[in-house]
A = this chain, B = another copy of it.
Amino acid sequence: MLFDALPDSVSIYEVSPRDGLQNEAVTVPTTRKLRLIEALAQAGLTRIEATSFVSPKWVPQLADADEVAGLLPRVPDVTFSALCPNAKGLERALTTKIPEIAVFISASETHNRKNVNNTVEGTLAAFGEVIAPAVKAGLRVRGYVSTLWGCPYEGEIDPRAGLRIAHRLVEMGCYQISLGDTIGVGTPKQTRDILRLFMSEFSIPQIAMHMHDTRGTALANVVVGLELGIRTFDASVGGLGGCPYAPGAAGNVATEDLVFMLDGMGVKTGVDLEKLWTAGQVAKAVVGRDLPGKVHKAGVRSLRH
């Protein structure tokens, strides 16, 4: 049975310019961000979250969101998106040509409070001023539901709490919900159970997996998703971003590792691994530190002769 019904292709949603850079200690100059984004697009990535229209007070690393959005390269078939936490963010997004925004909420009440200084219910209410107006303005809206595999404050999270939030987001107009293992504690059997729960109430295109590799289990969890039919995976080149709860530890699954595995399984991504590796080297230069991605460290050329 195993892998007999793999999809021909899957969709990779690249988060490094936003989710990666917002977790870096350094603030990267705008031109360098654009160089990274350009390299990602050249590698064949077609969905790139470029920045976040969040208050510079909260995320100074992305204070240049308007400038980045205005200078995005025009590449055929590439959809850029940006995080929009509130109505003010949407207002800024609407002055740009970005065709897609994303909203972010936690399945954990405590994590949500610490992250956005609001209750889950309060955050959902505030999304009323973001999601529907964005859809009305012709934007697509994607929702993140984080800490579904576990919370750094509350520990285990009932995935049904995340399911209820996801329903609210979809009702408000989100076309896809990205299920997040925000602290990288997920294991494969748990992943099976969480995905089955969401798949029982949503369609495959509505579900994405956003896995962190903090304990080395990201690709093992992705394999479970593949086997169950999931076709959208978030990733960050080089594993850019790290884990805010464990300094020095890995965060987002590295896009190179994901593409390497999918290539080996015959699942198309549209991404050229050599060029992606080059984009990872750009990312490393841009942040000026070693990145945790495995293929990023091991290299591509030695892979396949």
Q: Could you list which residues of chain A lie within 8 angstroms of chain B, going by C-beta atoms? A: 1-3, 6, 152, 154-155, 183-190, 192, 213-220, 222-224, 227-228, 243, 245-246, 248-250, 253-254, 257, 260-261, 263-266, 293-295, 297-299, 302-305
- Given known A-B contacts A3-B188, A302-B152, A297 and B250 have beta carbons under 8 A apart: yes
CA distance A220 to B218 in the complex (A): 8
Let me know if A260 and B152 touch, CB within 8 A: no
Let me know if B2 and A249 touch, CB within 8 A: no
Let me know if A223 and B294 touch, CB within 8 A: no
Determine how close the nearest CB of chain B comes to the CB of A264; give it in whole angstroms.
3
Contacts of A228 in B (CB 8 A): 2
Out of B1, B219, B248, name the residue touching A217 (CB < 8 Å): B219
Let me know if B304 and A215 touch, CB within 8 A: no
CA distance A6 to B192 in the complex (A): 13
Let me know if B265 and A187 touch, CB within 8 A: yes
Let me know if B264 and A189 touch, CB within 8 A: yes
Residue of B nearest to A254 (CB): B216
Let me know if A257 and B299 touch, CB within 8 A: no
Let me know if B303 and A185 touch, CB within 8 A: yes
Residue of B nearest to A251 (CB): B298
